[in-house]
Amino acid sequence: MKIWLDGELVDQSEAKISVFDHGVLYGDGVFEGIRIYNGRVFRLDEHIRRLFDSARAIVLNIPWTFEEVVRATVETVAANGLKDGYIRLVVTRGVGGLGLNPYLCPKASMFIIASTIQLYPQEHYDNGLALITCATRRPAPAALMPQVKSLNYLNNIMAKVEAIQANALEAIMLNEQGYVAECTGDNIFVLKNGVIYTPRISDGALDGITRSVILELAGKLGVEVREQAMTRYDIYIADECFLTGTAAEVIPVVSLDRRTIGDGKPGEITARFIAAFRELANSTGTPVA
């Protein structure tokens, strides 16, 4: 496997960063997860734009231009001969001292991994996921803006621990006011009486790329979408529910906290969105070659 590291494609065994890198020491950095479908990188410009926005929000200067990062991403995919897969692009604060001061890190570091991923077993795409509500809350926007995809994912990891310990693969996370924010790594949508609802970004949800694709597809499919504050009640009484994310893609949900959603099977509208997403993903994107 070839890894792009600070301007060079190197073998995986040579892809190393310093123990003094603030990404390692403090989780100081940002990242993006990007998908490759049918030899094309899906929504590449949107992902790189969000990467730069996340970096700007935490006062992290990326020492490569937008165009250079796009080119490096495509080169990494090509070097690994991937037609379908997953890209992890990481920017760290770089090497510095043992103190917190980020201004003592003279230059950021970046690496790009292009490999494969399957977030959930196929059976859950066919039959749906069972969710729980976890006790771990999403950080308040005043603490860390939810739009920033930072390397410090401990909040999400602890929520994932709760899910796994409860024999679930995913969990709903609430904000401090008790409203639904998102899952540990995915955005959430519910369908009720022909209308799709999803939490507002201001309630702690990440402004997901796949989430934005679903909002676009809803218009083409003639389904109304409303972004609004949601509680678990809205999920309990939903006719259908599904999650979205770059790694997860679109996956149905059939229960929350052992309460059956709808008829306990993936819904027809969810199936339409899955089909529309797959068609779009496999026919558009930035060509690798």
What backbone torsions phi and psi does residue 132 show, to the nearest 5 degrees? -125, 165
Integer Cα distance of 76 and 289 in angstroms: 11
Contact 102/59 with Cβ under 8 angstroms? yes
Q: Which residue of the set 16, 149, 192, 220 is catalytic?
A: 149
| 3-class SS of residue 10 | strand
The token pair that represents 167 in the structure block: 């024999």
Q: Are 9 and 3 in contact (CB under 8 A)?
A: yes
Residue 182, classed as helix, strand or coil, is strand
Torsion sign (Cα): 114, 184, 252, 225: negative
Report which of 131, 140, 86, 142 is spatially closest to residue 113, judged by C-alpha positions.
86
What DSSP designation does 150 have? B
203: nearest Cα among 177, 181, 170, 171: 181
Tokens 């924010």, residue? 181
Cα separation, 137 vs 116, whole angstroms = 30
**φ, ψ dihedrals at 188, nearest 5°:** -125, 140
Active site residue 149: yes
Q: Which of 53, 43, 35 is nearest to 150 (CA)?
A: 53
DSSP one-letter code for 147 = T
Which residues are catalytically annotated?
149
